[in-house]
Amino acid sequence: PEQIVVSDLAQRMAVKAREVTKLLMKMGEIVAADEAIDQATASLIVEEMGHNPVPVSDTKVEDDLQEAVEERSSNVQTRPPVVTIMGHVDHGKTSLLDKIRETKVAPGEAGGITQHIGAYHVKTERGVITFLDTPGHAAFTAMRSRGAQATDIVILVVAADDGMMPQTEEAIDHARASGTPIIVAINKMDKSTADPDRVLNELTTKEVVTEEWGGDVPLAKISAKTGEGIDELLELVNLQAELMELEAPTEGAAQGVVIESRLEKGRGAVASVLVKKGTLNQGDLVLAGEFYGKVRAMTDETGQRVKSAGPSIPVEILGLPDTPAAGSEFLVVSDEKKAREVAEFRANREREQLLERQNKMRLESMFEQM
């Protein structure tokens, strides 16, 4: 079978050969640096060594920070629901968002240059609803894998003339895995080929049983083209939100999640963030992922300057030195030293994880060449 000399393996992982032999010994194999081991063992070694358990003192850095933030937040109040629209390609997700925005964003607000910030909020009679329009399941998964659950409710859009498709099923799985309640929106009801009953029947095979069929999943039949049923859909969102009793402290240091970020000519790093707790203010020192900086300016989704943003409200912030990854948590810190400490710790961890992935890839390609 394929073999590799321990010292070569060590070199490729950028560690001392002695560390590898020591680990081998722990695994019950006494091997010298110039001896060879088989691929399975080598893979185990890489996995073990690549697996960098975070030292206790380092997690403490983050825990302390978290505690300090929690302590400072107060005045818990009802907050708007954050909604993500999911569904199969071409089933009308973007059209639905556009229609909602068109009918619910006041003309004056929409008149300006509408910025794409990956999220926006609309006012309905029953309250504000925030939509994440970072489309697609990839973004949803990225956020989830970072533990940054940003969505309260999923609207599952299914075209009445097409029915349940692979990405519909995927969306259902994502929502389930994260415990996010689903509201079904059967779209394209204006079409003569619309067959909502067929769709509802198909959905039951994924155990999505709508209220119409005796289940408990709310359902709206809509047309993103004509606007039919959209008010009812928003009403269902509000009802669901009330059931969930969504709350957050409105005062204190803000905490939230990065929706997306980019570098813009003349503005620098621009990060769209969604506040989850507390209030974010212009001038706050923000730690986002591995970067920190003072919020120089904030704008809402219509490009208007705002001075502060509370729970569930999305804003764009300027002032970070670089672009934090989508799904990174952000929080406001009072102490620049602490911010630097955590930022450095995170940057190191990122580097280590990158190195680990590179090592794995190098080892794999090495064996392919043999």
Per DSSP, 325 falls in state P
Q: How far is the CB of 92 from Mg ion (least distance, A)?
A: 8
Choose between 187 and 255: whose C-beta lies nearer to ligand GTP.
187
- Cβ-proximal residues to 33 (8 Å cutoff; 6+ apart), any chain: 5, 6, 7, 10, 17, 18, 20, 21
C-beta closer to ligand GTP: residue 41 or 223: 223
Residue 90 labelled as part of a binding site: yes
Amino acid at 108: G
Residue 24 or 105 having the CB closest to ligand GTP = 105
Report residue 106 as tokens: 């006041």
**Is 195 labeled as ligand-binding?**
no
- Find which of ligand GTP, Mg ion, none residue 224 binds, CB within 5 to 8 Å per kind: ligand GTP
Smallest gap, in angstroms, from Cβ of residue 225 to ligand GTP?
Answer: 4
Identify the residue whose tokens are 């919020």: 295
Q: Select 10 or 85, whichever has its Cβ closest to ligand GTP.
A: 85
State the minimum distance, in angstroms, from the CB of residue 191 to ligand GTP: 5
Task: Report, in Å, the least distance between residue 345 CB and ligand GTP.
Answer: 38
Write out the two tokens for 333.
Answer: 């810190």
Q: Please say which residue, 87 or 311, places its beta carbon nearer to ligand GTP.
A: 87
Q: Which of 94, 204 has the CB closer to Mg ion?
A: 94
User: What distance in Å separates the CA atoms of residue 314 and residue 336, rounded to the nearest whole number?
Assistant: 24
Alpha-carbon gap, residue 2 to 51, rounded angstroms = 24
Q: Where do contacts with ligand GTP occur on this chain (CB under 6 A)? A: 87, 89-95, 135, 187-188, 190-191, 223-225
Quote the Cα angle for 46-50-53, to 5°.
Answer: 140
Q: Tell me whether residue 93 is annotated as binding.
A: yes
Residue 324, helix vs strand vs coil: coil
| Cβ atoms of residues 251 and 222 within 8 Å | no
CB of 93 to Mg ion, least distance (A): 5
Q: Give contact residues for Mg ion (rule: CB under 5 A).
A: 93-94
Both tokens assigned to 72: 């400072």
Out of Mg ion, ligand GTP, none, which partner does residue 91 contact, by CB within 5 to 8 A per kind? ligand GTP
174 in a known ligand binding site: no
Q: Is 190 annotated as a binding residue?
A: yes
Pairing of strands 314-318, 268-277: antiparallel
* Residues near 368 by beta carbon (within 8 Å), at least 6 away in sequence: none
Q: Tell me how far, at minimum, the Cβ of 281 lies from ligand GTP, in Å.
A: 35
Q: Which residues are annotated as a binding site for GTP?
A: 87-94, 133-137, 187-190
Q: Which residues are annotated as a binding site?
A: 87-94, 133-137, 187-190
